[in-house]
Amino acid sequence: MLNKLFEEYNSKLPYVFFLLSLSLFLGIFFPGKMSPDSQTMYAQALAHSYSDHHPPLISFVWHYLNLLIPGTALMFLVNMILLWGGLYILAFNIFKGARISYLIILIPYFPQVAVYGAWIWKDVIFTYGYVLLSLYLSDRAINNKPIKLFHIPIFFTILSYATAVKFQAQFILPILLFFFFQILLAKKLIKHKKILSFLASIIMSFALIFSIEMINSYIVNQKGNGSNYSWQYVKIYDLTGMSLISNQILIPKTLLKHDQITLKDIEKKWDLLWEPLICDTDSPLISTRNAHDREELLNTWWSAVLKHPITYLHHRLTMWLDGIVLAAPSKNYIQKNLFIKNETLKSLIVKIASIFSYIVLMPFQLSFFWVGWKALKKNSATRQYGKSLMFLTTMGMSLLFILLFKSLAATPRYICFTFFTFFISVPFALKCLSQKQQETA
């Protein structure tokens, strides 16, 4: 009798721990925080007038949530449903009853994850949404459960929202959809399932991206003042970086604030972020004013890249390494807000913070891909764990390398998805490795 009660108590303890961890997380971060980007999106939500510099769908959804409860609270809670919904699936459906469930429940408290917990950011929404869907698919594959018909519209609603809020998500979309179609077709008596899954993922990706573009265009043009042509900031940033490396101004003269602007003036405002170049009162550059300026900018960018490809790669690689791969999520905050006069001590703290940078995790994530591949090749109990591990690792690493060419500038939050997929993939890697040890014992 006592043994039965003890077993029942033990079986419920992880659920209690989950609720306590969730409650603590909400207590720390509720009702969410806004950065200048978030404040801009919130202002558009209040005005019910939208631009496309930030994903307009966030502001559009926020407008209607704000009618229920003003402020960040409901947007934050939607993020929490995505985050903790995924963790619930991982802890209680995929690794049910295992001790590793406790480690899974603590993932949001790891510094590289917790630092983004409160923010209403497109990067965070994309991260939580894609991880939730990946874990749902992993649950289906590992527990040999088909995708239910009524789950499909829910899946694609979350997928569409999470893709629409992050430009780079469209490059990860085919990977997740390939996973989806592999599971959807798993029990179908169809030949060449992998080829069909691949083709279906490509076609569906194009269809979703096209639909999102149409929705964004409607929101911006019918509910706002038209496009902001935000692609121009990437080109201006690239030309600025290339100018500093090549020691010559490659930027169109129409984008210099005045004729007396020199390379030294530009260098003073150079940063890993693009805003100081254009947005500050003493910025040396301006954005385009008309279609002619935009055409000139685009032509100048292409000409500069084709004439100076090594300089372009040097600029992108330096920015990518310094601002993303080698940067700790807390580095900028420490540098700007830590009021320590002793520069040596401050530098030491920044170096200590660098242990949270992605370069520390990269070797593990690369090795996890190999672990997943080895498990997938074997017809063992961990085969589906290996498949999930490979998909998670592939998506996380893909975003990292896509940002080498497809990021506006550089900040660690651009890869919060890569950080998060790493931590989520750890239980899968441990499962595959433990099975390998048992087989060799």
Q: What is the pLDDT along the chain (441 residues), one digit of tens a residue?
A: 545 555 555 678 889 999 999 999 999 999 999 999 999 999 999 999 999 889 999 999 999 999 999 999 999 999 999 999 999 999 999 998 778 899 999 999 998 999 999 999 999 999 999 999 999 999 999 999 999 999 999 999 999 999 999 999 999 999 999 999 999 998 777 778 889 999 999 999 999 999 999 999 999 998 888 888 999 999 999 999 999 999 999 999 999 999 899 999 999 999 888 999 999 999 999 999 999 999 999 999 999 999 999 999 999 999 999 999 998 887 666 666 556 667 777 677 777 777 889 999 999 999 999 999 998 877 677 899 999 999 999 999 999 999 999 999 888 999 999 999 999 999 999 999 987 666 665
Beta carbons of 275 and 305 less than 8 angstroms apart: no
**Residues near 377 by Cβ (< 8 Å), separated by ≥ 6?**
none
Nearest CA-CA partner of 418 in 406, 402, 432: 402
Q: Give the predicted TM-score (pTM) of the model.
A: 0.93
Q: Where are the alpha helices (DSSP H) in 308-415?
A: 309-320, 331-337, 343-353, 358-377, 383-406
Q: Which residues of 278-313 are buried (b: 16+ CB within 10 A; e: fewer)?
A: beeeebbbbbbeeeebbebbeebbeebbeebeebbe
Beta carbons of 291 and 380 less than 8 angstroms apart: no
Tokens of 24: 């603590």
Distances (CA, A) of 44 to 41, 61, 224, 231, 408: 5, 11, 9, 20, 22
What's the half-sphere exposure (Cβ side, CA atoms, 13 Å) at 5? 2
User: Omega before 31 cis (within 30°)?
Assistant: yes
188, with CB counted inside 10 A (0-12, 13-18, 19+), is exposed
Distances (CA, A) of 253 to 258, 278, 287, 329, 399: 8, 14, 11, 36, 34
Helix (H) or strand (E) holding 301: helix 291-307
The C-alpha atoms of residue 284 and residue 267 are separated, in whole angstroms, by 9
SS3 category, 187: coil
**Residues near 51 by Cβ (< 8 Å), separated by ≥ 6?**
44, 220, 224, 225, 226, 227, 228
SS3 category, 256: strand
